[in-house]
């Protein structure tokens, strides 16, 4: 597969900028894969697209495109920090403090994984923040996690749309959402299980009791 990084980047960025699945952007991405519509089953279609998405250059270009879209819409997300008593503190709302370090969404996202992972290790040789790295990581972490969450959500929609288009190109009908009672019940059961796990982590006994009061068909 010949990788057109710019086309993949542009397609992913355009798709990410849409609140709903952007058919044209997904089609452009699919076209960049140069696939022939010759799959014999929907499972094979799934497999072919999944293999394309495993290519490190493809994933890199898509990720960069998604993050570029995110940065464009989060230009006001800027950390304005000052070093006070060996720790970084937020200067927003404090006129007496002047920022000594400013990091935008782009800076937080592009901080190398090695540096980020070691910020809370004062003696690490990969950064120069020393013990202040611990407080810095506390500010950077939510910025990175918010962007990562956006990427996961967009990636899921993008892969789903590309697979759907490829299946149609191969002569298969577009996948329709399963709205049967069994499917909906299964979905509710899965959601309840997820919520229950989080409530147990929070030790919220009252909320847990409420969930446990649901009909047994919704409980694992």
Model's pTM, two decimal places? 0.76
Strand order in the sheet with 78-84: 87-90, 78-84, 101-104
Q: What is the C-alpha to C-alpha distance for residues 40 and 180, in angstroms, rounded to an integer?
A: 27
pLDDT of residue 1: 65
Instruction: Report the chain's mean pLDDT, rounded to a whole number.
Output: 92
pLDDT of residue 16: 95
- Which range among 69-83, 126-140, 192-206 shows the weakest confidence by mean pLDDT? 192-206
User: Within 10 A of 167 (CB to CB), how many other CB atoms are there?
Assistant: 21
Domain ranges of the chain: 5-72+147-169, 76-146, 181-218
DSSP 60: H
| Sign of the C-alpha dihedral computed for residues 166, 163, 74 and 132 taken in this order | negative
Q: 101 has which bridge partners?
A: 81
pLDDT single digits (tens) 5-46 = 999 999 999 999 987 668 999 999 999 999 999 999 999 999
DSSP 84: E
Q: Is 52 exposed, middle or buried (0-12, 13-18, 19+ CB in 10 A)?
A: buried
Binning pLDDT at 50, 70 and 90, where does residue 2 land?
confident
């Amino acid at each position: 597969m010949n990788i057109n990084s710019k086309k993949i980047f542009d397609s992913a960025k355009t798709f990410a900028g849409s609140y709903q699945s952007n058919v044209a952007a997904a089609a452009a991405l699919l076209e960049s894969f140069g696939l022939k519509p010759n799959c014999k089953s929907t499972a094979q279609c799934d497999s072919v697209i999944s293999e394309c998405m495993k290519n490190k250059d493809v994933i890199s270009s898509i990720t960069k495109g998604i993050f570029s879209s995110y940065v464009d819409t989060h230009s006001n997300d800027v950390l304005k920090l000052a070093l006070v008593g060996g720790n970084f503190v937020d200067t927003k709302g404090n006129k007496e403090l002047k920022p000594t370090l400013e990091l935008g969404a782009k800076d937080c996202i592009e901080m190398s994984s090695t540096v980020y992972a070691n910020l809370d290790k004062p003696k690490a040789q990969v950064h120069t923040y020393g013990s202040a790295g611990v407080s810095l990581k506390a500010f950077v972490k939510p910025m990175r996690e918010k962007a990562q969450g956006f990427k996961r959500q967009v990636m899921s929609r993008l892969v789903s749309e590309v697979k759907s288009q490829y299946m149609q190109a191969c002569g298969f009908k577009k996948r329709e959402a399963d709205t049967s009672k069994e499917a909906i019940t299964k979905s509710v059961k899965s959601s309840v299980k997820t919520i229950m796990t989080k409530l147990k982590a929070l030790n919220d006994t009252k909320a847990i009791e409420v969930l446990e009061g649901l009909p047994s068909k919704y409980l694992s």
